[in-house]
């Protein structure tokens, strides 16, 4: 197999070409890459433009003030804060978030052993040493993990942030209503 890669802005196309279908070895691969660029480049630009308009870029799903990870196995979707934003989390917040995810995974495995046909809905909020809120909310198989590092904020504020995110990006899947 030969791997041909083409990238235009935020769109990357990977093309796997079976070695048996390439004539003349490396020269044939060069020809395939050139043909791909000539024949598909305008279409790739058009697709990228449509995606950019509908998506809004790297920060499109980012809600300022907290960091998050959303996992929806049913729809095979996961969203997270942009990598540049995650690196701004304090060490204590990262450690608390990691411990919380481990606890959630443990709780899920315990529950699956008892009732493998149904998912358990639950929410955990932890106040960290650095005065941040770390939240995990599991609902209908979806998982939402958040870190809110605004010092001095209350549990009500953290809960409101989860509601806001849920209503805005998850069609209310994590809302308490």
For residue range 135-174, list pLDDT tens digits in order.
999 888 888 898 888 877 888 888 888 888 888 777 777 8
d(CA 107, CA 110): 5
Where residue 117 sits, what CATH number does that domain have?
3.30.450
Which of the pair, 49 or 24, is modelled with greater confidence? 24
Short-list 123, 48, 131, 64, CA closest to 96 = 131
Distances (CA, A) of 84 to 107, 116, 150: 30, 38, 18
Question: What's the pLDDT band for 67 if we cut at 50, 70, 90?
Answer: confident
Name 93's Cβ contacts closer than 8 Å, sequence gap at least 6.
Answer: 128, 130, 132, 134, 147, 149
Q: What range defines the domain where residue 158 resides?
A: 66-169
CB atoms within 10 A of CB 95: 15
Mean pLDDT of 6-14: 69
Are 102 and 163 found together in one domain? yes
Residues 18 and 72 in one domain: no
Q: Are residues 96 and 161 in the same domain?
A: yes
The answer on 90 and 6 residing in a single domain is: no
Predicted local distance difference test score (pLDDT) of residue 54: 53
In this predicted structure, which of 10-14, 19-23, 163-167 has the lowest mean pLDDT?
A: 10-14
Q: Give the C-alpha separation, 126 to 10, whole Å.
A: 36
79-131 residue pLDDT tens: 777 777 777 788 888 888 888 988 888 888 887 777 766 667 888 899 988 88
Residue 61 is assigned to a structural domain of this protein? no
State the total domains in the chain. Answer: 2
Q: Are residues 15 and 36 in the same domain?
A: yes
How far apart, in whole angstroms, are the C-alpha atoms of residue 115 and residue 109? 10
**pLDDT for res 63:** 58
The predicted pLDDT at position 136 comes to: 92
Examine the domain organization and report whether 42 and 79 are in the same domain. Answer: no
* Residue 79 sits in the same domain as residue 36: no
Q: State whether 70 and 121 are in the same domain.
A: yes
pTM, rounded to two decimals: 0.61
What is the Cα–Cα distance from 161 to 149, expressed in whole angstroms?
12
- Rounded CA-CA distance 41/4 in Å is 14
Give the C-alpha distances (Å, rounded to integers) separating 166 from 78, 94, 156, 171. 14, 22, 15, 6
Residue 175 domain flag: no
Residue 55 has pLDDT above 60, yes or no: no
- Stronger pLDDT, 135 or 42, i.e. the higher one: 135
Is residue 51 located within the same domain as residue 71? Answer: no
> What tokens does 165 get?
């995110």
């Amino acid at each position: 197999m030969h791997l041909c890669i083409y990238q235009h802005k935020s769109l990357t196309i990977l093309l796997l070409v079976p070695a048996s279908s390439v004539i003349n070895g490396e020269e044939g691969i060069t020809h395939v890459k050139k043909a791909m660029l000539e024949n598909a480049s305008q279409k790739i630009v058009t697709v990228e433009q449509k995606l950019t308009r509908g998506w809004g870029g790297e920060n499109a799903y980012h809600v300022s003030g907290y960091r998050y990870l959303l996992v929806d196995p049913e729809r095979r979707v996961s969203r997270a804060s942009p990598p540049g934003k995650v690196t701004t989390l304090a060490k204590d917040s990262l450690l608390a978030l990691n411990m919380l995810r481990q606890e959630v995974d443990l709780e899920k495995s315990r529950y699956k052993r008892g009732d493998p046909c149904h998912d358990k809905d639950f929410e955990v909020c932890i106040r960290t040493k650095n005065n941040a809120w770390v939240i995990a909310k599991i609902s209908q198989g979806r998982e939402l993990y958040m870190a809110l590092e605004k010092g001095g904020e209350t549990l009500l504020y953290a809960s409101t942030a989860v509601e806001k995110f849920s209503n805005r990006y998850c069609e209310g899947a994590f809302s308490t209503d």
